[in-house]
Homo-oligomer: A and B are copies of this chain.
Amino acid sequence: MKYQHILVAVELSKDSHVLIDRAVFLSELLDADVSLIHVDGTHGEIYPEMVDIRINPDQRPLHLETMEQLHEFANYAKCPVKHFIVGTGDLGDKLKGAIAEHGFDLIICGHHHDFWSKIVSSSRQLINTSSVDVLVVPLED
């Protein structure tokens, strides 16, 4: 119940700052580690591996502009970012693997309240596949 390793599922939007803020706040309160994950599902699974861009900062699993935005997120976090897992494919699938490997016990994700996101929201996907607690934060539409 005392979360030890918080994982933030970031999207390519400034909205993700709100999610990172939540993680930093809780990590300070709980003395927990913080990691980030971004899975690009727009073109399916282009490659199966996930890349930890904290360990391999020079790897470029997604295109340059995307990588720059992801590195900006890591810099924005006012705490150390332990892992930043980046890949392609299905967020729910990739998350299962990441939880198994790193033992995350709290996932933070965003939720948009517009109609479209009610259909395809990643928060729903996360909740249906996650075996750990998920904190869903409402984001601006």
Contact = CB atoms under 8 A, between A and B. Distances in A.
A29 interface: yes
28 contacts: A1-B21, A1-B22, A1-B25, A2-B25, A22-B133, A29-B29, A29-B30, A111-B127, A111-B134, A113-B128, A113-B131, A118-B128, A121-B127, A123-B127, A124-B124, A124-B127, A127-B127, A127-B136, A130-B138, A132-B138, A133-B135, A133-B136, A133-B137, A133-B138, A134-B135, A135-B135, A135-B136, A136-B136
A25 B29 CA distance: 12
Interface string A96-135: 0000000000000001010000100101100110111111
A16 to B, nearest CB: 15
A21 B2 CA distance: 11
A123 B130 CA distance: 13
Contacts of A130: 138
Query: So how many copies of this chain end up in the complex?
Result: 2
Q: Is the interface of A mostly helix, strand, loop or mixed?
A: mixed
A48 to B, nearest CB: 24
Interface in A1-39: 1-2, 21-22, 25, 29-30
A136 B130 CA distance: 10
